[in-house]
């Protein structure tokens, strides 16, 4: 093959990677691209640089120019700020992937484990302005040209994961799908009594399948981003209980016709009398026609969606107590009436299980972690643990705060990783700073954040308007450091 043929092949593979629309297609096309360029992410100290030097067609160059502007920030210290740090991220949801990007930019080795092998969530997220700015600066429009076009400020979870996964791979983040995190494994004692003996095992993860190579990966930072069911221990949760709130999400196929294109989106208030008593409804036109609504219990009972009334919400919404066909009719009617009957053929899109994409869930109670970080030490080996995203702070969906607060938490976690790796702060100082910043997270609104999005970095003071990184003293976070050392 001539050099010209090789570069034509690499260009074609790059185009396939950029256009890939599923998790597996992204991973496969990336592998083919790397093979054709004869490079491997784990062999390179700063993979992005090597990839950039080998892939020089005009399309790739325009992406590199955009990314360089973003990646050459001084916080990353030339991608050497965390050069000896090894990070494991649990979960390839939006917040896990966003945290992985920042840790990689700091120069760490970053491995992400994701228990699924598909990105299948059609649900559409409304994004706060800084999130849109952030994603655009990471090249989101290159990977998904429709991203936040014009006044539209939303994206499906699935598309967002695809965009973030592509950026992760270009940076050299290692992503393993079909690998579930199960538990943390403590380091083994030194075999010969010599610190750093090769046989000494560091902090590792028990994963499923158990023989996956990730089970032998020693890491110093663990980031939990596995969604609201957080599996990591040591993060007790506090509950915020409101009045009973039942949400229904429904996705209908978008046939992309002119007729459908004309139908206006709805961003919260009911504009039409639906006759089925909703507290609010949101309609976004994306890959699907996405509706999310808060329904009143009485109306669900009257329409036969809920069979029996129960005080206990778990019983009330249990499978046995829900008539699935009536639920579909209810959502279809709400969608039809709220869009003034302008959406023809309301045909359900399919979910992960090949079933009509409709779900009903309770969001009466929301949970937030008591602490965002902790640290452990065994046999001289230290581990920093952070949780981010829904694991840290479950969002109240009508405010669209999920990804915004999720990304802020991911940046804050990356800042803690940087402080941890610098060695200039003690573990307790890192934890005290991280928890001081976490105190601000649940209060953030688009208005309370700095408007200077161009200045946003992982340093919290560039984002939160009133940020005291020393609000808590080391003594107040002492319980978050589990160590055999005398401190």
Binding region for ligand FAD (CB under 6 A): 90-96, 113-116, 123, 125-126, 157, 180-181, 225-227, 231, 247, 249, 292, 389-390, 395, 397, 400, 402-404, 406
Q: Which residues pair with 183 in a beta bridge?
A: 206
Q: Which residues pair with 239 in a beta bridge?
A: 367
Across 254-329, the runs of DSSP E, i.e. the strands, are: 266-268, 278-285, 288-295
Closer CB to ligand FAD, residue 94 or residue 427? 94
Q: Which residues pair with 283 in a beta bridge?
A: 266, 291
Q: Render the burial of 94-116: b for 16+ CB within 10 Å, e for the rest.
A: bbbbbbbbbbbbbbbbbbbbbbe
Rounded-to-integer distance, Cα 42 and Cα 50, Å: 12
Closer CB to ligand FAD, residue 231 or residue 469? 231
List the alpha helices (DSSP H) in 218-296: 258-262
User: Taking the complex as a whole, how short is the minimal distance between the CB of residue 97 and ligand FAD, in angstroms?
Assistant: 7
Closer CB to ligand FAD, residue 149 or residue 191? 149
Rounded-to-integer distance, Cα 343 and Cα 255, Å: 10
Chain Cα centroid distance, residue 95? 2
Strand pairing report for 365-369 and 237-241: antiparallel
User: Taking the complex as a whole, how short is the minimal distance between the CB of residue 293 and ligand FAD, in angstroms?
Assistant: 9
User: Taking the complex as a whole, how short is the minimal distance between the CB of residue 350 and ligand FAD, in angstroms?
Assistant: 18
Closer CB to ligand FAD, residue 182 or residue 377? 182
Chain Cα centroid distance, residue 97? 5
Non-local CB neighbours of 408 within 8 Å, separated by 6+ positions:
441, 444, 449, 463
Q: Is 284 helix (H, G, I), strand (E, B) or coil?
A: strand
User: Taking the complex as a whole, how short is the minimal distance between the CB of residue 188 and ligand FAD, in angstroms?
Assistant: 23
User: Taking the complex as a whole, how short is the minimal distance between the CB of residue 89 and ligand FAD, in angstroms?
Assistant: 9
Rounded-to-integer distance, Cα 384 and Cα 416, Å: 9
Closer CB to ligand FAD, residue 190 or residue 265? 265
User: Taking the complex as a whole, how short is the minimal distance between the CB of residue 8 and ligand FAD, in angstroms?
Assistant: 36
Closer CB to ligand FAD, residue 10 or residue 173? 173
User: Taking the complex as a whole, how short is the minimal distance between the CB of residue 398 and ligand FAD, in angstroms?
Assistant: 8
Closer CB to ligand FAD, residue 200 or residue 249? 249
């Amino acid at each position: 093959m001539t050099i010209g043929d090789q570069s034509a092949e690499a260009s074609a593979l790059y185009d396939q990677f950029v256009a890939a629309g599923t998790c597996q297609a992204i991973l496969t096309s990336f592998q083919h691209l790397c093979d054709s360029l004869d490079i491997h992410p784990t062999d390179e100290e700063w993979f992005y640089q090597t990839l950039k030097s080998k892939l020089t067609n005009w399309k790739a160059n325009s992406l590199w120019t955009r990314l360089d502007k973003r990646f050459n920030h001084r916080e990353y210290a030339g991608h050497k700020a965390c050069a000896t740090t090894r990070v494991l991220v649990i979960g390839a949801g939006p917040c896990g992937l966003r945290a992985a990007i920042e840790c990689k930019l700091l120069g760490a080795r970053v491995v992400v484990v994701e228990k699924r092998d598909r990105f299948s969530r059609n649900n559409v997220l409304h994004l706060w302005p800084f999130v849109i700015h952030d994603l655009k600066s990471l090249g989101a429009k290159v990977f998904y040209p429709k991203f936040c076009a014009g006044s539209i400020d939303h994206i499906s979870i699935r598309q967002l994961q695809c965009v973030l996964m592509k950026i992760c791979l270009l940076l050299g983040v290692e992503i393993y799908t079909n690998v579930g995190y199960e538990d943390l494994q403590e380091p083994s004692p030194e075999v010969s009594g010599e610190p750093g003996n090769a046989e000494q095992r560091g902090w590792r993860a028990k994963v499923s399948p158990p023989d996956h190579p990730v089970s032998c990966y020693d890491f110093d930072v663990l980031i939990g981003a596995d969604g609201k069911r957080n599996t990591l221990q040591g993060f007790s949760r506090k509950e915020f209980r409101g009045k009973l709130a039942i949400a229904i999400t429904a996705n209908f196929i978008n046939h992309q016709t002119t007729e459908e294109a004309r139908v206006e989106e709805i961003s919260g208030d009911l504009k039409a009398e639906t006759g089925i008593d909703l507290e609010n409804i949101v309609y976004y036109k994306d890959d699907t026609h996405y509706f999310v609504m808060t329904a009143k219990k009485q109306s669900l009972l009257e329409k036969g969606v809920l069979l029996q009334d129960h005080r206990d919400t778990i019983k009330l919404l249990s499978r046995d107590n829900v008539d699935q066909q009536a639920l579909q009719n209810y959502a279809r009617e709400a969608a039809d009436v709220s869009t003034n009957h302008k959406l023809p053929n309301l045909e359900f899109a399919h979910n992960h299980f090949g079933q009509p994409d409709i779900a009903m869930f309770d969001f009466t109670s929301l949970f937030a972690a008591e602490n965002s970080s902790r640290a452990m030490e065994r046999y001289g080996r230290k581990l920093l643990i952070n949780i981010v995203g829904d694991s840290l702070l479950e969002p109240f969906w009508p405010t669209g705060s999920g990804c915004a607060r999720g990304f802020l938490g991911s940046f804050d976690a990356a800042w803690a990783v940087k402080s941890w790796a610098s060695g200039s702060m003690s573990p307790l100082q890192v934890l005290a700073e991280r928890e001081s910043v976490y105190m601000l997270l649940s209060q953030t609104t688009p208005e309370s954040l700095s408007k200077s999005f161009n200045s946003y970095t992982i340093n919290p003071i560039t984002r939160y308007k009133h940020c005291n990184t020393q609000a808590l003293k080391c003594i107040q976070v002492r319980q978050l450091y589990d160590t055999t050392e005398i401190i």
